[in-house]
A and B are shown apart, each in its own frame.
Chain A
Amino acid sequence: MHVLEQPFDDADHEQSAPRSEPAPVKLGRAIVITSGKGGVGKTTTTANLGTALARRGHTVALVDADVGLRNLDIVMGLESRVKYHVLDVLEEKATIDEALVRDKHSPTLVLLAAAQAREKDEVDTRKMVELVHSLRERFDYVLIDCPAGIEKGFQNAVAGAQEAIVVCTPEVSAVRDVDRVVGLLGNAFSPQLIINRMRAQLVKKGKMLSVEDVNGILRLPLLGVIAEEPDVIVSTNRGEPLALRTDSQTAAAYHAIAARVDGEDVPAPAVEYKESFITKLGSLFGGRRNS
Chain B
Amino acid sequence: MIEFLNRLFGRQTSGATAKERLRLVLMSDHLSLAPELVEAMKRDLVDVISRYVEVDRDKIDVHFENQENVVAMLANIPITGVNRNAGREQTPAVPVMEQAAQTPQAAQAPAAPPRPRPRRRRKKNAAATAS
Contact = CB atoms under 8 A, between A and B. Distances in A.
Interface of A: 171-172, 175-176, 179-180, 183, 202-210, 213, 217, 283-284, 287-288, 291
Interface residues of B, number: 20
Contacts of A202: 15
B11 A172 contact: no
B2 A283 contact: yes
B22 A217 contact: yes
Interface of B: 1-3, 5-6, 9, 11, 13-16, 18-19, 21-23, 25-26, 29, 33
Contact of A205 (B13, B19, B25, B33): B13
B66 to A, nearest CB: 13
A204 B15 CA distance: 10
B3 A206 contact: yes
Secondary structure call for the B interface: helix
B29 A171 contact: no
Nearest to A283: B2
Given A208-B18, A288-B2, 5 more contacts: A203-B15, A205-B2, A206-B14, A217-B23, A284-B1
Nearest to B8: A288
Contacts of A179: 26, 29
A63 B11 CA distance: 47
B25 A291 contact: no
Contacts of B1: 284
5 contacts: A175-B22, A203-B15, A207-B14, A210-B15, A291-B2
Nearest to B24: A172
A206 B21 contact: no
B15 A206 contact: yes
A172 B14 contact: no
Contacts of B14: 206-207, 291
A180 B29 contact: yes
B26 A288 contact: no
A288 B11 CA distance: 8
B122 to A, nearest CB: 25
The 8 closest A-B pairs by CB, nearest first: A206-B13, A206-B15, A291-B13, A172-B22, A213-B19, A207-B14, A172-B18, A209-B18
B26 A206 contact: no
A150 to B, nearest CB: 12
A288 B22 contact: no
B12 to A, nearest CB: 8
A210 B19 CA distance: 9
A288 B15 CA distance: 12
Contact of B6 (A180, A206, A208): A206
A171 B18 contact: yes
Nearest to A280: B1
A186 to B, nearest CB: 13
A283 to B, nearest CB: 6
Nearest to A180: B29
Contacts of B19: 209, 213
A288 B25 contact: no
A72 B76 CA distance: 53
A207 B13 contact: yes
Nearest to A209: B18
B64 to A, nearest CB: 17
